[in-house]
């Protein structure tokens, strides 16, 4: 057993408690055994004790990403979304092989871990390369291989073959596998505008049968789904009419973006408990608009936060996504009390994990995986540590990725004093640099 101690623990329980002089016990299986104040901690004479300064909190959850695109970062950065995708991204991705994907993924995993992001929901291709790179770095993934049917992508097979490959992987490996169950598999139908209508209920049935997550782009821009809007009213209504969403047969559906949703769409999402992965950084950069976060929250739609791929968002920094979420929601509502620092912290951790269907992540609680982040308070952001509200406020609004010192995933230390323990950052960077130069 490992015992971590720190002056402050943020377990990210529903009340977002602040535990002073805290103790976190991690079992040999990588799960949390105990979390609370030292004065109440059970005796642990055989524990390996690490006395840390600063704050311990759960790892952050990035609910929508295409991490291997680190090698495409900055390419065609100022084009409108559809032109950017069709003229720049998709041709460049067409030149990527499995080794390129692996190099980009490894670098992105290191980047996220160093920022305290321990879990990401990924939609990409070359599934083995993505999973292997994450396992090398020690990250946790919900890996939903892309399923798409647009010209050029048929080199990877038909949408039916792509979906069948995911099903075969789940049937062979189980839904979750790897050390500390680091990999969870799901389905990534790219979007309503990149697949024939019949693909969505078919993939939904395969996901539902296996209890898997279905992760798709939805209502990111006003132009992408003009055809579906004309025919069905909106993509959410299309999903209901096609039986993708059916109260008698629940589905874990994660909708990335959810920017252009009207009141009826939001009510529909609430009814079916469809989760929105809110990506304000990517949406702002691509001028897509911004999701109606206050309305989604009031309606009871589960929310998670995401960066989106590093080619559009660009820094994979969930702390900055959390801040942007708060700022944009406040601008939209005209209410400076909308989304407190506590709300934002929970969105990036506990609530984000719950929204992707993982109640075993996102909080420091017995039984959950020990995905833990240690941040320093030796920083100008923290001049006053005694007040609980102010401490969380300083962490969220003035702190961020630069404060992260150490990170554990499933109890294994993967970042030590800001550097990866399992891989060489300089080497990962130079490999990815060579790929970027070629692409």
Q: In the complex, which residues of this chain contact Zn ion (CB under 5 A)?
A: 308
Residue number with CB closer to Zn ion (123 or 391): 123
Q: With contact defined as beta carbons under 8 Å apart, do 214 and 199 qualify?
A: no
* Minimum distance, C-beta of residue 159 to Zn ion, in the bound complex (Å): 17
Nearer to Zn ion, 277 or 396 (CB): 277
Number of Cβ atoms within 10 Å of the Cβ of 426: 8
Q: What is d(CA 142, CA 117) in angstroms, rounded to the nearest whole number? A: 13
Closest separation in Å from C-beta 21 to Zn ion: 42
- Minimum CB distance to Zn ion, residue 277 (Å): 9
The contacts of residue 410 (CB under 8 Å, 6+ apart) are 30, 31, 140, 179, 180, 181, 182, 369, 370, 371
DSSP label at 386?
S
CA–CA dist 274, 154 (Å, integer): 29
Tokens of 393: 């406020």
Contact 88, 125 (CB under 8 A): no
Least Cβ distance, residue 146 to Zn ion (angstroms): 10
Peptide bond just before 218 cis, omega within 30 deg: no
In the bound state with Zn ion, the residue whose beta carbon lies nearer, of 228 and 377, is 228
Which of 123/370 has CB closer to Zn ion?
A: 123
Q: Shortest Cβ distance from residue 191 to Zn ion (Å)?
A: 9
Q: Which of 47, 59, 62 is nearest to 368 (CA)?
A: 59
| Residue 439 Cβ vs Zn ion, minimum distance, rounded to whole Å | 19
Alpha-carbon gap, residue 208 to 400, rounded angstroms:
37
**Cβ 125 to Zn ion, closest distance in Å?**
13
CA distance 386 to 38: 17
Distance CA 234, CA 213 (A): 22
Q: Which is nearer to Zn ion, 25 or 308 (CB)?
A: 308
Let me know: does 119 contact 64? Beta carbons within 8 Å.
no
Q: How far is CA 133 from CA 94, 102, 167, 343, in A?
A: 20, 6, 21, 32
Pairing of strands 404-409, 372-375: antiparallel
Residue nearest to Zn ion (CB): 308
Q: CB 282 → Zn ion: shortest distance, Å? A: 7
Closest CB to Zn ion among residues 308, 412: 308
Nearer to Zn ion, 308 or 317 (CB): 308
User: In terms of CB distance, is 56 or 148 closer to Zn ion?
Assistant: 148
Determine the Cα–Cα distance for residues 21 and 32; give it in Å rounded to an integer: 17
For the bound state, the minimum distance from the C-beta of residue 149 to Zn ion, rounded and expressed in Å, comes to 17
- Report the number of secondary-structure helices (H) and strands (E) in the chain: 16, 20
- Residue among 121 and 348 whose Cβ is closer to Zn ion: 121
User: What does the block give as tokens for 290?
Assistant: 């911004």
Q: Which position has the token pair 């004309």?
A: 230
């Amino acid at each position: 057993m490992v015992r971590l101690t720190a002056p402050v623990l943020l377990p990210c329980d529903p009340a977002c408690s602040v535990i002073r002089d805290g103790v976190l016990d991690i079992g040999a299986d990588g799960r949390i055994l105990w979390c609370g104040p030292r004065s109440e901690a059970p005796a642990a004479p055989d524990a390996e004790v690490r006395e840390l300064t600063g704050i311990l909190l759960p790892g952050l959850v990035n609910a929508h990403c295409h991490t291997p695109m680190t090698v495409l970062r900055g390419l065609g950065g100022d084009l409108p979304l559809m032109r950017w995708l069709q003229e720049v991204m998709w041709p460049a991705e067409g030149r990527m092989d499995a080794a390129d994907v692996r190099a980009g993924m490894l670098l992105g995993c290191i980047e996220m871990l160093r920022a305290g992001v321990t879990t990401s929901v990924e939609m990409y291709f070359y599934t083995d390369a993505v999973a292997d790179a994450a396992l090398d770095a020690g990250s946790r993934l919900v890996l939903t291989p892309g399923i798409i049917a647009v010209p050029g992508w048929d080199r990877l097979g038909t949408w039916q073959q792509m979906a069948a490959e995911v099903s075969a992987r789940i049937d062979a490996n189980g839904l979750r596998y790897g050390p500390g169950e680091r990999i969870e598999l799901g389905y990534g139908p790219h979007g309503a505008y990149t697949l024939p209508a019949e693909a969505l209920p078919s993939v939904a049935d395969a996901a539902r049968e296996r209890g898997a997550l279905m992760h798709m782009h939805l209502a990111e821009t006003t132009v992408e789904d003009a055809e579906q809007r004309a025919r069905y009213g909106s993509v959410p209504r299309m999903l209901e009419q096609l039986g993708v969403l059916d109260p008698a047969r629940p589905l874990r559906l994660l909708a990335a973006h959810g920017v252009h949703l009207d009141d009826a769409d939001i009510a529909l999402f609430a009814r079916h408990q469809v989760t929105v992965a809110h990506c304000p950084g990517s949406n702002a950069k691509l001028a897509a608009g911004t999701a109606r976060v206050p309305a989604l929250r009031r309606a009871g739609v589960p929310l998670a936060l995401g960066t989106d791929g590093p080619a559009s968002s660009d820094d994979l920094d969930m702390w900055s996504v959390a801040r942007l979420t708060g700022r944009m929601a406040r601008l939209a509502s005209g209410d400076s009390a909308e989304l407190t620092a506590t709300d934002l912290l929970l969105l990036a951790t506990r609530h984000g994990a719950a929204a992707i269907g993982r109640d075993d992540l996102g909080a420091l609680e017995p039984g959950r995986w020990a995905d833990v982040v240690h941040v320093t308070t030796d920083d100008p952001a923290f001049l006053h540590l005694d007040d609980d509200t102010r401490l969380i406020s300083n962490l969220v609004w003035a702190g961020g990725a630069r404060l992260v010192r150490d990170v554990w995933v499933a109890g294994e230390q993967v970042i030590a004093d800001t550097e990866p323990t399992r891989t060489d950052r300089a080497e990962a960077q130079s490999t990815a640099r060579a790929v970027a130069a070629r692409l």
